[in-house]
Homo-oligomer: A and B are copies of this chain.
Amino acid sequence: MKIAIAQLNYTIGDFEGNKEKIIRCIRQAKGDGAKVVMFSEQAISGRPAYDLLNDIVFLERCNETLSEIAKESTEITTIIGLPLQIDNDIISAAAIIHNGKISRYVGKQNVISRDERYHLSRSHGYEFLRVEGRNIAVVLGSDIYSEHDFGSDVDVIVSLKSTRYSCGIIERRYDFYSKIAYKTHSNVIAVNQLGGQTDIVYDGSSFVFNRRGEAIVLMRSFEEDYTVFEVDGDYPPIKIPVQDKARNVYRAIKLGLKDYFAKNGFKKACLGLSGGIDSAVVCALASEVLGPENIHVLMMPSQYSSDHSVGDAVKLAETLGIKYDIVPITGIFDSTTKALAEVFKGTESDVTEENIQARTRGMLIMALSNKFGYITLNTSNKSECAVGYETMYGDTVGAFSILGDLYKTEVYELARYINRKGEIIPQNTIIKEPSAELCPDHKDSDSLPLYDELDAILYRLIEENQTIDEITTAGFDIGTVLKVFKMLISNEYKRYQFCPVLRLSTCTLGKDRILPLTYDSSCLL
């Protein structure tokens, strides 16, 4: 018996487009002699649909689309995910279509993720299906993690997924499924969603493991894919390739950025290029994904900008072949401080004047965006967002952040990956000491620990949810840990107003970690 696996890139609410892709694969599968064709969880609607799942029109469109898909599913069994209303509950379901008719639904039991817990109700969990004398267990989403015994006579476990990319997920997923296949002595197929949905990237990476727990099909990561395989066929085992973290991050960002633009109908982007590492990496990625002809950058030097800043930025722009303009901010800064002179009489220059520079740049880049219809790309990184080393409405502006879930040290890794075949990002941008250049001889290390140490502490606090005791026991200086911890918890208000951040880590600030804005944080010390 042949089974076809369709790993497709859906657009939320684009029922016509999704349907066409799905039907094309059903026809292909029939042509390939497959008896079963399977699609991911919530394939028909796209995910995450948030409160569209409360919208009766949206749910009706799901059902109508399913009916049209069913008509095409003659002479094949189609297994496909969608959100489904049953009485007053909405569940994540797999429709089983036999001979052109919807024969039944399998519902997801374990509703785990934050975007689903509010909308979806718990259903019954996995069920068996018999096709061509084979027992097929159909499992949705995270139900696979709680079921380790499907009985002795299961031939195939079919797992419909929509799991976002996060650091290390691909390796962990292969590992878990290999064990499930070995333990249950059955063929295990997982089909995952693919594509960017604003802040989420579904990485695809669908696969088949045989009854010995060996990989026999590994589908593409970060690309659509389709394959057919023969159940219990004689396939040589595939050695699972070692995952290169920087390469996966690079591919995830490219897919996320491409789909954010494509699915929203956007074409052109703008950003401010400072000469520093963050904006250089954003610029190089945007130029590659959207094309250099669609990128317009501004260099906005102040009296505190060093010569190399504009030089490095211009060098990058010329290497990429993108449009750039140099707009000094000194005149605007001077008229701003002049306008405020009376109000500020008797005060000293302080962070206020630094923020005026950052906000002037924000205003200029937004003006460029408004005038030409560009989408502004944000250039903040996770280390800055975590400790609030940024100016609200200044360097935080933008429609979309592609580095906001990468620590500064990870941004450097990505820069080196981008330069793997030759210098794109100027070497000087990579090797010079990081500086926001908002006052004379400014260095990031004036206010922050060195990034190696800062990022290590932040990773333990955020990704590993370690207590302060645990971190100091691991050898970090208590004073530094406390300082970082306090910066982290006291800057939740800045993150509250931050733009959507492409999620790449296992714990994205503001999405996977949400704290109150008003509380007594001393209770955590």
Most buried by B among A363, A465, A521: A363
A518 touches B263 (CB 8 A): yes
A336-B363, A370-B352 known; A260+B518 contact, CB < 8 A: yes
Interface digits, A495-519 against B, CB 8 Å rule (1 contact, 0 not)?
Answer: 0111110000000000001111111
Distance between Cα atoms of A399 and B494 in the complex (Å): 9
A15-B523, A260-B518, A496-B500 known; A331+B338 contact, CB < 8 A: yes
A198 touches B397 (CB 8 A): no
Distance between Cα atoms of A48 and B517 in the complex (Å): 10
A48 touches B335 (CB 8 A): no
Residue A487, interface by CB 8 Å: no
Interface digits, A333-351 against B, CB 8 Å rule (1 contact, 0 not)?
Answer: 0111011101110010011
**Residue from B14, B196, B328 in contact with A520 in the complex, judged by beta carbons closer than 8 Å:** B14
**Residue from B327, B343, B514 in contact with A339 in the complex, judged by beta carbons closer than 8 Å:** B327
Distance between Cα atoms of A513 and B119 in the complex (Å): 12
B497 touches A498 (CB 8 A): yes
Residues on the B chain within 8 Å of A339, using CB: 327-329, 331-332, 364
Residue A433, interface by CB 8 Å: no
Residues on the B chain within 8 Å of A367, using CB: 336, 340, 352, 355-356, 359
A519 touches B13 (CB 8 A): yes
Interface size class, chain A: 35 or more
Residue A467, interface by CB 8 Å: yes
Distance between Cα atoms of A521 and B313 in the complex (Å): 38
A355 touches B370 (CB 8 A): yes
Residues on the B chain within 8 Å of A497, using CB: 497-499
Distance between Cα atoms of A392 and B52 in the complex (Å): 25
Interface digits, A377-420 against B, CB 8 Å rule (1 contact, 0 not)?
Answer: 00000000000000011000101000000000000000000000
B347 touches A371 (CB 8 A): yes
Q: Which of the candidate stretches A56-64, A226-234, A237-245, A247-255 sits at the interface with the other chain?
A: A56-64
Distance between Cα atoms of A350 and B493 in the complex (Å): 33
Residues on the B chain within 8 Å of A498, using CB: 497
Residues on the B chain within 8 Å of A264, using CB: 517-518
Distance between Cα atoms of A30 and B114 in the complex (Å): 43
B352 touches A359 (CB 8 A): no
**Residue from B336, B343, B518, B524 in contact with A198 in the complex, judged by beta carbons closer than 8 Å:** B518
Distance between Cα atoms of A358 and B107 in the complex (Å): 50
Distance between Cα atoms of A519 and B264 in the complex (Å): 7
B57 touches A523 (CB 8 A): yes
Q: A17-B520, A48-B516 are in contact. List 16 more A-B contacts (CB 8 A).
A: A13-B519, A13-B520, A52-B515, A52-B519, A52-B524, A56-B467, A57-B523, A61-B523, A118-B118, A260-B518, A332-B336, A336-B360, A340-B367, A355-B367, A393-B397, A497-B498
A-B contact pairs, 16 of them (CB 8 A): A14-B519, A61-B523, A114-B118, A196-B518, A197-B518, A260-B518, A263-B520, A335-B335, A351-B370, A352-B371, A355-B366, A356-B367, A363-B363, A393-B393, A496-B499, A500-B517
Q: When A and B form their complex, which 10 residue pairs have the shortest distance between CB atoms, in order from nearest?
A: A12-B519, A14-B520, A352-B370, A13-B523, A13-B520, A393-B393, A13-B519, A335-B335, A359-B363, A352-B371
